[in-house]
Amino acid sequence: MEAFSVRTGDFVLASSKDSKLSESYGGGAIQTILKTALENKYVDKVLSFQEKKTRYDLSPVIIEQPDQIDSLPLSQFSVYHVSGANNIPKYLQQNLKGAGKIAIVAKPCDVRALVELAKRRQINLDELVVLGEECYGKISPKKVKKTLDEEQLDTSKVAYERIKGNTYSTIVEGENRSYTLGETLDLEGSCKRCAEREPTISDISFLVIEENDKTRTLIHINSEKGLKLLELASAKLNLDRANEEILKHRNREMEQLRDKAEKYKTEQFKIFDKNSEKDRYSYFKKLLENCRKCGMCIKACPICICVDCSVIKKRKEIDPVFYFLLRMGHMGECCVNCGNCDSVCNFLEPGPSLIFHRLGELSKSALNYEPGKNVNESPPRTKKTIKKS
Ligand code: SF4
Ligand code: SF4
Ligand code: SF4
């Protein structure tokens, strides 16, 4: 890079030199990086997202032409809301095996799921270029739409939306709306418990920061691949080294989010510890009896990869508690707390992720296995001793 030299580990502030892109999310830095990666054939494809009917209903899309990046509906909301059954890790595992080098924009829980998929040899991380957004958490898009509809705002005319700290803000039809989280709208349960807001293995991680009425993207270069991305895009980006003040602010915010999530998680996990074993059993039996065995949580879970899923096959013959126990036995210890199961489940409150998250956390101490981390580890296996007769 000519303007100043950067190395892995550095933080830079970036925005696009393209006047149109510079008006978009984060000053268009991520779009510019993706576009130049395609133009220079550094990646074969970009796995991104598109609006179906509205911005509250997104689905994954594969982009191969650089110009298509210009119309990418990139926003914090879009990155956070390619979730549920449409999540990026599952789409990648099911549709893009061996499809060449792919760039993706992902949130930290997507990245944790990618790590678990790599451990199961379902994806090859060497073939991926990961741009991971540091995360403030997600709100159900259905609930946002419902709230704005009730206020008779035209949700096809959203100009801005952002979750930051304890607030969700949006501009619809020129009107500013702000909602304190925990009142009309709130973060998903999995997000409130999520203390891992930075993507674990991304090539670049990024955070959009506001400066007066503009936004820029704070980029952390995490790998050689990340450095290459920036080198390719450098002629089309305005780049500055990030100053101490910005970094301190970012670190403080991330720390506050982590502390808050740890406290909330500890509080929620008390359900598993309080009262007698009999009371706990009654509580969970009652909760799980609401399960309709629809199988949507399996479909949405990025760690559930069996093509011939025995839980799905047997679900009509078994009761809901047993259905749930089978799933817990199969992959519970590897849960990355992405909340995709909660997004598709209309019957359990609290959603299924609470139980799986707790199991995933227990595996850290009981099995010495950390879901979403340590790429070279294998998932835990049940040991069986076969006695010779
Ligand atoms: S689970 Fe964590 S990483 Fe995923 S969207 Fe929620 S806060 Fe972000
Ligand atoms: S936990 Fe929810 S999503 Fe999963 S099978 Fe039961 S009802 Fe369906
Ligand atoms: S079980 Fe865990 S990994 Fe699977 S969808 Fe639910 S939260 Fe995500």
Per-residue pLDDT tens over the stretch 105-162: 999 999 999 999 999 999 999 999 999 999 999 998 889 999 999 999 988 888 788 8
Q: Is residue 377, in this structure, part of any structural domain at all?
A: no
pLDDT interval class at 365 (50, 70, 90):
confident
155 and 66 share a domain? yes
Does residue 383 fall inside a structural domain? no
Ligand nearest to C-alpha 115: 3
Residue 6 falls inside a structural domain? no
The ligand 3 atom at the shortest distance from the C-alpha of residue 301 is 5
Centre of ligand 2 from the C-alpha of residue 352, in Å? 8
Which atom, in ligand 2's list, is nearest to the CA of 296?
A: 3
Which atom of ligand 3 has the smallest separation from the CA of 360?
Answer: 2
**Which of 21-25, 54-58, 248-252, 330-334 ranks highest by mean pLDDT?**
248-252
Instruction: Starting from the CA of residue 85, give the closest ligand.
Output: 3
Of 222, 239, 261, which residue sits at a domain end? 261
- Give me the percent of the chain exceeding a pLDDT of 70: 96
pLDDT at 388: 62
- Answer yes or no: do 245 and 347 share one domain: no
State the pLDDT at residue 333.
87
**Domain finish residue from 230, 245, 261:** 261
pLDDT, averaged across the chain = 90
Residues in contact with ligand 2 (CB, 6 Å cut-off): 291-297, 344-345, 347-348, 352
Q: Are 198 and 284 found together in one domain?
A: no
240, 326: one domain: no
Single out the residue in 210, 230, 261 at which a domain terminates.
Answer: 261
Q: Which of 83, 190, 294 to mutate to test the pocket of ligand 2 (most atoms within 8 A of CB)?
A: 294
Closest ligand 3 atom to Cα of 357 = 2
pLDDT for residue 13 is more than 70: yes
Question: Does the pLDDT value for residue 389 go beyond 60?
Answer: no
3-state SS string over the chain?
A: CCCCCCCCCCEEEEEECCHHHHCCHHHHHHHHHHHHHHHCCCCCEEEEEEECCCCCCEEEEEECCHHHHHHCCCCHHHHHHCCHHHCHHHHHHHHCCCCCCEEEEECHHHHHHHHHHHHCCCCCHHHEEEEEECCCCCECHHHHHHHHHHCCCCHHHEEEEEEECCEEEEEECCEEEEEECCCCCCECHHHHCCCCCCCCCCCEEEEEEEECCEEEEEEEECCHHHHHHHHHHHHHEEEEECCHHHHHHHHHHHHHHHHHHHHHHHHHHHHHCCCCHHHHHHHHHHHHCCCCCCCHHHHHCCCCCCCCCHHHHHCCCCCHHHHHHHHHHHHHHHCCCCCHHHHHCCCCCCCCHHHHHHHHHHHHHHCCCCCCCCCCCCCCCCCCCCCCC
57 shares its domain with 121: yes
In a domain, 375, yes or no: no
pLDDT of residue 78: 66
> Which ligand places an atom closest to the C-alpha of 188?
1
Q: Which domain holds residue 71?
A: 11-261
347 CA to centre of ligand 2 in angstroms: 7
| Ligand 1 atom nearest 137 alpha carbon | 7
Report the pLDDT averaged over residues 261-275.
90
Residue 15 sits in the same domain as residue 81: yes
From 109, 356, 373, mutation site for ligand 3 pocket: most ligand atoms within 8 A of C-beta: 356
Which residues approach ligand 3 with their CB closer than 6 A? 190, 300-301, 303, 335-341, 352-353, 356
| Whether residues 62 and 125 fall in one domain | yes
pLDDT at 383: 58
- Is 176 in the same domain as 316? no
Number of domains in the chain: 2
Residue 26 domain-assigned (yes or no): yes
Ligand 3 center to 101 CA (angstroms) = 26
- The verdict on 125 and 235 lying in the same domain is yes
Task: Note whether residue 385 is domain-resident.
Answer: no
Residues 293, 255 within the same domain? no
Looking at the CA of 109, name the nearest ligand.
1
- 287 with 214, same domain: the answer is no
Percent of the chain predicted with pLDDT > 90: 62
User: Region 193-198: what's the mean pLDDT?
Assistant: 94
- Predicted structure pTM score: 0.93
Q: Is 60 a domain residue?
A: yes
Which ligand 3 atom minimizes the distance to the CA of 113?
3
Specify if 58 maps to a domain: yes
Same domain, 67 and 216: yes
